Amino acid sequence: MQALVLGEQAGVRSDYPLPAPSRTEALVRVSVAGVCRTDIELSKGYMDFAGVPGHEFVGVVEECVALPGIVGKRVVGEINCPCLDCRLCRAGLTNHCPSRTVLGISGRDGGFAEYVVLPAGNLHEVPDGLSDEEAVFAEPLAAAFRILQQGAVPTDGDVLVMGDGKLGLLAAQVARLVGASVHVVGRHLERAELLRHCSVNFHEAEVTPTHSFDAVVECTGDADALAQALKLCRPGGTVVLKTTTTEPNTLNLTEAVVNEIKLLGSRCGPFAPALRALADGTVRVGGMVEATYDLSDGLAALEHAARSGTLKILIQP
C-alpha cells in the first residue's frame, strides 16, 4: 500500500506492507487523516519514531472478525491500545496502560496510509450526515472534552484558553457548553469569527488583570506559556496543560505554591460526546481546514502544517 513513512529515509512509499489485523482488530481503509502538532514533532525526530504517523483519521472498516456488523461502516478511532489486564487498565486508566501502543505515535503504524489497523473496541461509528472533513476532528475534540470529564471547567466561572490554534478553538467551544464565560487569547484576530456562534471573548493582546480566571487552559505548545498561565489563574484555580513541548523549561513554581493553584495534565478524551457535538453543530469546525493534500504529497503536507499559524491540514489517500 501507499504510506507516508518517517525514519532515516522519510518519504512516501508505494510498497509499504499492508497491515494484517488480528482476530480482535479491524482493518480500516483510510478516507482522510488530519495532521497534528505531534506528527510534526515526530517528523523532526521526537521519540525516535520510525514508521507511519497519523492518529486523526476517518475510514471505512473492510475486515473485522470481532465485530462483523461494523464492516462497511464509517469510523473514527481512539488512539491508545491497552493490554486491558494490568493494574491501571483494571482501574479504568486504559489510556495510561504502561504496555499500550499508540496509533501513529508509539509501537503502532498510523493513519497516513491507505489502510490502518486498530482494536475493534477502539472504533466509533460516524453519524450519518457528518462529513469526513468534520469527523476527522473527533480525536482532537475528544481531547478537548477531556477537560470537562476532569471537572476543570466551572459552570459559572471565567475560563481563559491560551492559544487560538486548532486545539484552542475546540477547547473554547467545549468550555462554553457548560455555561462558562470563555476568553481566548491568540495572535489571529480573524479567528474570532470561528467562535462568534458561541459568544467567546477574543483577545489579540495580553489579558489583564492577573489572577482573575478560575481556569486557564494552555493550548499554545509554548514552553514559556505555563509561567504566564500561573499569573493569570486566580488563587485556588486550575491550570490545565493540554499541549506538550519538546523545549526545556526552567520554571519558578512559587505562584502555584503561594496561590494553591492546581496543575492538571489533560490528554486523550471521550469520543462519544465529541461525535455528538460535531453532529448536532454545538461544536463547529467549518473554516478550520486550511488545505488538503494527496497522500503522495504527504511530506509537503507536513511542511505546510509546520508553518506558524496554520490551521488544520488534511491528507487524503
CATH number of the domain that residue 260 is part of: 3.40.50.720
273 occurs within a structural domain: no
In this predicted model, what pLDDT tens digit does every residue of 175-186 receive, in sequence order?
Answer: 999 999 999 999
Tally of domains in the chain = 2
In a shared domain, residues 100 and 23: yes
pLDDT score of 246: 76
Are 148 and 79 members of one domain?
no
Q: Same domain for 126 and 172?
A: no
* Domain assignment of residue 185, yes or no: yes
Q: Are residues 202 and 309 in the same domain?
A: no
Phi/psi at 44 (5° precision): -95, 0
Kindly state whether residue 54 falls inside one of the protein's structural domains. Answer: yes
194 Cβ neighbours under 8 A, 6+ residues apart = 169, 284, 286, 287, 288
Any domain includes 276: no
Query: Position 90: which residue type?
Result: R
Question: Does residue 274 sit within a domain?
Answer: no
| pLDDT given at position 250 | 79
Check whether residue 34 and residue 119 sit in a common domain. Answer: yes
Specify whether 133 is located in the same domain as 156. no
pLDDT of residue 315: 98
Residue 251 inside a domain? The answer is yes
Same domain, 124 and 173: no
Considering the domain boundaries, does residue 232 fall inside one? yes
Instruction: Provide DSSP, 27-49.
Output: EEEEEEEE--HHHHHHHTTGGG-
pLDDT for the residue numbered 245: 77
For residue 174, tell me if it sits in a domain: yes
Domain housing 170: 143-265
Give the number of other CB atoms < 10 A from CB of residue 231: 15
Positive or negative torsion for Cα 52, 10, 137, 184: positive
Average pLDDT over residues 112-122: 98
What pLDDT, on the 0 to 100 scale, is given for residue 156? Answer: 87
pLDDT tens digits, one per residue of 255-288: 999 999 999 999 999 999 999 999 999 999 999 9
Mean per-residue pLDDT of the chain: 95
Give yes or no: residues 174 and 99 share one domain: no
Closest to 273 measured CA to CA, from 146, 85, 131 = 146
247 and 173 within one domain: yes
